[in-house]
Amino acid sequence: MLYFIVNPNSGGAKGYQVWKQAELRLQEKKIDYKVFLTTGPGDAIEFSRQITNSDDDDITLVPVGGDGTFNEVLNGANISDRLTLGYIPTGSGNDLARGLKLNMNVVKALETVLARKNILEMDYGVLTAGTDAVINRRFAVSTGIGYDAQVCRSIEESKEDGGWAKKALRKETYILLGALDILKIEPVRGYIEMDGDRRAEFNDIVFISSHNHITEGGGRKFAPQADCQDGILNVCIMHTKSKLEFTKILAAGLGGNHLKYNGVRAYDCRSIKIHLDKPACVHTDGEVLGLYSDTEVHCVRKGIRIII
């Protein structure tokens, strides 16, 4: 059975319009399907859980939304051989669609899903955060602690307040709110442990991101060597006291040229533990989870099947 989980408010509320185009195509082709429309955070998780725990022997589950919607579907899913994911991107950042080179035209994206010609076995990551009330969260694109997550938080707060970010494109929003958040940066001490046998310490950590795909934040190439099938996390650490230097690094990150700066380190690993001396904001695929000092991340190689 073909299932769609639709976020009607994704991409500046264009998600519903995109879905209606797709639905018309499905009806023209007389294809059986079921659709679930989200009304708020967490709905896609619950819908995904219900669908993948059903008795259906062959489930094709298609999120229609942005990276956050896909993230919720991934987190609700009972992953098994019965499940194949599709994706119709309607967000503003669309880093997953960019990484998979998916067609952004709704009709063509739907035709790709219906044809099922190419199915990719894709990595996903798992974040564990906290020491007391521990949370676990899967991610498709990336997870981060520090500045990049704080920008995601600022975007969410602006949307909740009905601010200008509510209708802004994600790339523009990230840049403008990001510039404001640079002024608030408070670098912290911390360390990382990779694969249980490598350790590195830093004095002025601004953020640490772990990637399955090349970009995050609407196209910033923080992990230019990332491969979503190799079972490896590409880790980017930015550490500097200088706000000017950090601004230069971020600008270079748009083209993946940030690695030449002294305030940047890149590592490859299958798992990583992160400790910061002070709690910092944490995100998975742009979805903010809260403030934490301790996180662990590992990669599940080729853990999900997705139509491309």
Could you tell me where in the chain the CATH 2.60.200.40 domains are found?
124-301
Reported as a pLDDT band with limits 50, 70 and 90, residue 165 is: very low
C-alpha angle 304-305-306 in degrees, rounded to nearest 5: 120
Express each pLDDT in 209-231 by its tens digit: 999 999 998 899 999 999 999 99
Please, what's the b/e burial string for 163-199 (b: 16 or more CB within 10 A of its CB; e: otherwise)?
eebeebebbebbbbbbeebbeebebbebebbbeeeee
Given this model, what pLDDT does residue 169 score? 47
The two three-digit tokens of residue 156, written as one number = 């969410």
CA dihedral sign of residues 91, 92, 93, 94: positive
Residue type, position 135, single letter: I
Could you tell me where in the chain the CATH 3.40.50.10330 domains are found?
2-117
Helix axes 15-28, 106-115, angle to 10 degrees: 50
Express each pLDDT in 97-127 by its tens digit: 999 999 999 999 999 999 999 999 999 999 9
Residue 170: pLDDT over 60 = no
Q: CATH code for 2-117? A: 3.40.50.10330
Residue 145: strand, helix, or coil? strand
What is d(CA 126, CA 131) in angstroms, rounded to the nearest whole number? 16
Residue 239: pLDDT over 70 = yes
Given this model, what pLDDT does residue 54 score? 95
Q: Let me know: does 212 contact 140? Beta carbons within 8 Å.
A: yes
How confident is the prediction for the chain on average, in pLDDT?
93
For 124-301, give the CATH class.
Answer: mainly beta
The pTM is what?
A: 0.93
Q: Let me know: does 116 contact 278? Beta carbons within 8 Å.
A: no
Higher pLDDT, 217 or 73: 73
- What burial class does residue 259 get, using C-beta atoms within 10 Å of its C-beta: 0-12 exposed, 13-18 middle, 19+ buried? middle
Express each pLDDT in 171-201 by its tens digit: 555 566 677 889 888 999 999 999 999 999 9
In terms of Cα–Cα distance, which of 94, 106, 52, 50 is closest to 70? 94
